[in-house]
A and B are shown apart, each in its own frame.
Chain A
Amino acid sequence: MEDYVVTQRGLTRRDFLRSGGALVVSFALPGCVSSVAPATAGAPFPAAGGVWPAKIDAASLDSWLAIGADGGVTACVGKIEAGMGIGTAFTQIVAEELDVPLERVTIVMGDTATTPDQRGTGSSNGIMTGGAALRRAGAEGRAALLELASKRLRVPVAELAVRDGVVFVAADPAKRVAYGELVGGQRFDVKVSEKPKVKNPRDYRVVGQPVPRLDIPPKVRGEYRYVADLVVPGMLHARVIRPPEAGAQLVRVDESQRLPGLLKVVHQGNFVAVVCEREEQAVEAARALHVEWSKPAPMYWTGYDALFEHLRSAKPKVTKADAGNRGDVEAALAGAARVVEARYDYPFQSHASMGPACAVADVREGGAIVWSGGQKPYPLRHALAELLQLPAEKVRVIWMPGPGSYGMNDADDCAADCALVARAMGKPVRLQYMRHDATGWDPKGPPATFRMRAALDASHAVRAWDCEARGFSGDIRPSGTDVAGDTLAGQLTGRKAKSKDAPQFPEEGYDFPAKRKVSHLLPWDHSLGTGLRTAHLRDPDGMATCFASESFADEVAYAMGVDPVEFRLRHLGDPAHAAVVKAAAEKAGWRSHTAPRAPRGRVVRGQGLAYAPRHGSLVAVVADLEVDRATGGFRVTRFTVAHDCGFVINPLNLRGTIEANLMQAMSRAKHEAVRFDGTRVLSVDWLTYPIIDVTEAPDVVDIVLVNNVAGAKPVGAGEPTTRPVAAAIANALHDALGVRVRRVPFTPESVLAAIRA
């Protein structure tokens, strides 16, 4: 079996450490250089029989890089590229600290055998944790190379300078030596000290620049290799067959049925798959195979009204209170001159990634290699080891790019399914889902319902703010695949998911005398193994909680007779929070108002703002839109975003990421709710799960970067813009129409119903 390495330029043979000479930077002993590199780099793996280190521990070995005799730099990081350009940002960071050209840097990500376990990508922390580790490793590498150069050139380090991977004497640039020459054919192991001397951000030349993404040229040429494009010699093709109804049990499967190319029917518990020689045969066999299932009792509700009624009334498994709760909310509500109250509902949503998940697996006696497109290959490795009953050392997960990834989509499920099938075959197997497997069975973003209340006194001041969230228990909402029970294959073979109870609190910075947020989490364990089980979807719970909280902020502002922007500026104590609100309002040309416009004519305009903090990032969004009062249809004509994620590594990438967050979040706000009946998920393709169309794209997106200064710590940008979008649109609809939509999605029917109510 070939030994693969995935870089942002695609899939290549692993050879970067095969050449003997390298200066290798690691964070601790013994490190992956001494223990991993010889085992993996010295020779090709025996067929799927490799033994890989139990853990390349991020805590003790954050990251490493190698500078080869040719001057090329290879950096490894425990993150993955989800399509937002993080590979390019990492390249910039390494090139900056080492003073080498961008094209000399190769980033390796997401291979559990060769890259440090940073869990993977999630929570928009790639730059914060992955970038910080690479920065330190790069700085240490540069210092070590300067030491070597100092000896070679017989000049103190302080008198040396570096440019494009060449060290020279500052006063006499003719005296020079390239990194590659310094390394020569020798091997140097360098440990990263406690506090490596990283560059002062004011001296950056590459970081902070709008470097074009390295992955885009191969993507537009059709040369970028996704996991779906991987061809392993001799691989077979598989497809899965899911229960037709939630909770249905497998009664009988016809293993003797003769179908073209059918090699085997693999089944265990309620997991069923077919394996064929050719892909189209597997597609056909999955359709044609006779499988008998039991008829289960309905597990779902008749629709969203019934679901939200259940969420509002069922007994919680656990209730959590926010750490920031303060004051006597009950007393304030009891003594209020006026209580403002509203309920908001947020539905199930699908990741609905562009392509159904795909995985390739080779599972043999000696071990397992699984190629997967999921965001978190490191925990997945342990879940697969559990599923396959192998020690972790015998399992290697190699990430390859997937078809879009916004949390925990169907990728890990597919990897687990593929591993089970490959084990049964003893040969490499490629398994790709069909569209109905992907949309119908991916773990869904969870629904929630909120009851918001505010107590106003006689002078219209807010005395108390109250948020009661009701949703499903975090125990069925895993943030990653940590155990076999977190995968569909695990659940269909009788395992349970495991995660911690995550409360659904809105994040905001309003200063009110009394404040209370509680989150009731309801049990629904029996949804496991069905198409409505839930998991993290981009900015988990953030869109839902912010939709409630920021819609309500507008409702309270109107009740007080205060302009919505003025309301926020008045109550946001932290100037950084107020800064994004102010910046967005100014850029958008905020039209100050204390009441909605009086709608006249068929097409009316509205403007709405919402803001959100997210784990240290801050975003405010203004939506300008036009609504057709006759149809209820609307189009956002302009988005204005003020975005504070600290110092920006690559403003060009950031723009693309912000715009994409806006479009995806607008899609979710306007269109998306997973349809279901009592026993089935009815959203199974793009007709039954519609998303945004290009005809709906705004005319303009304006972005203001706030706090983008050299000293500001870079924080996450992958998700924050998503958070306030639904609320900004709802607030703009209210401005236009004078009515509230309090349930996502804002379909023409629901807008029309609000107009007519």
Chain B
Amino acid sequence: MARTIDFTVNGRRESVEADPRTPLLTVLRNDLGQHGPKFGCGLGQCGACTVHMDGVAIRSCATPVSSARGTHITTLEGLAGAGTLHAVQQAFIDEQAAQCGYCINGWIMTAAALLASNPHASEQEIRRGLSGLKCRCGTHMSILRAVRLAQARLGTARTA
């Protein structure tokens, strides 16, 4: 049975009518026009659907929309500030870190959350923190370079 569920997406209050069991991903994409998060597996195994829920990276394909009630969701479309990209996004451009790009939402959103919670993550912590995300095209080398670059820039920004 459809219910009304209220939450915030990229700073905007939304109210949707949906079966509460509907994956958050489906509602974001089909009802709220957010196409950054992608359907990759529907099983929480690949991370292509990653969004931030109250600042935490979650897999929206395996999260029922009902559990988004009252939360603040950020999608890839909402990650950038006004007029400026998030440091992770800019680093992905600078390191050319995408092939087909279908998975790239998951890497950017996970890396942004990782660097926010652990700004001084070591190489091993970065790799472990991104472990479990899939990239079928094999973009891993440039993704790692991009995350390191973003980390360095964020560090510079903090100390400046």
Contacts and interface: CB of A to CB of B under 8 A. Distances in A.
**What's the interface size class on A, roughly?**
35 or more
B77 A663 contact: no
A280 B19 contact: yes
B132 interface: yes
Interface in B129-160: 130-144
Contact of A694 (B22, B42, B130): B130
A656 B76 contact: no
A401 B98 CA distance: 13
A692 interface: yes
A644 B70 CA distance: 56
B131 A662 contact: no
Contacts of B127: 694-695, 697
A692 B144 contact: no
Contacts of B36: 222
B100 A405 contact: yes
A217 B137 contact: no
A79 B22 CA distance: 38
B138 A354 contact: no
B140 to A, nearest CB: 4
A198 interface: no
B55 interface: no
B30 A694 contact: no
A667 B134 CA distance: 11
B35 interface: yes
Contact of A685 (B29, B41, B99, B141): B41
A402 B41 contact: no
Contacts of B134: 354, 686, 691
B84 to A, nearest CB: 12
A219 B35 contact: no
Contacts of B135: 354, 663, 694
Contacts of A655: 96
Interface string B25-39: 010011000111011
B108 interface: yes
B38 A685 contact: no
Contacts of A656: 96, 99, 139, 142
Interface stretch (A225-233, A316-324, A326-334, A523-531): A225-233
Given A356-B39, A663-B141, A695-B127, A216 B101 contact: yes
A659 B142 contact: yes
A354 B100 contact: yes
Interface string A673-695: 00000000000011100011111
A435 B41 contact: yes
A223 B140 CA distance: 22
B120 to A, nearest CB: 19
A404 interface: yes
A594 interface: no
A405 B103 CA distance: 13
A7 B35 CA distance: 18
Nearest to A700: B141
A405 B100 CA distance: 8
A607 to B, nearest CB: 19
B35 A404 contact: no
Nearest to B132: A693
B60 interface: no
Q: Which of A219, A278, A353, A665 has the most CB of B within 10 A?
A: A219
A663 B139 contact: yes
Nearest to B38: A355
A685 B45 contact: yes
Contacts of A280: 18-19, 22-23, 26
Contact of A83 (B30, B98, B133): B98
A628 to B, nearest CB: 16
8 contacts: A221-B80, A222-B75, A354-B40, A435-B40, A435-B41, A659-B141, A660-B99, A662-B138
Interface of B: 18-19, 22-23, 26, 29-30, 34-36, 38-43, 45-46, 48, 75-77, 80, 85, 89, 92-93, 96-105, 108, 127-128, 130-144
Interface of A: 82-84, 212-213, 215-217, 219-226, 228-229, 260, 278-280, 283, 352-356, 401-406, 432, 434-435, 652-653, 655-657, 659-667, 685-687, 691-695, 697-698, 701
A-B complex: 6 closest residue pairs judged by Cβ atoms: A222-B36, A663-B138, A83-B100, A222-B76, A219-B101, A403-B102
Given A354-B40, A405-B100, 20 more contacts: A215-B101, A216-B98, A216-B101, A219-B104, A220-B92, A221-B77, A221-B85, A228-B38, A354-B100, A354-B136, A403-B100, A404-B102, A653-B96, A659-B139, A662-B138, A685-B41, A692-B138, A694-B131, A694-B144, A701-B141
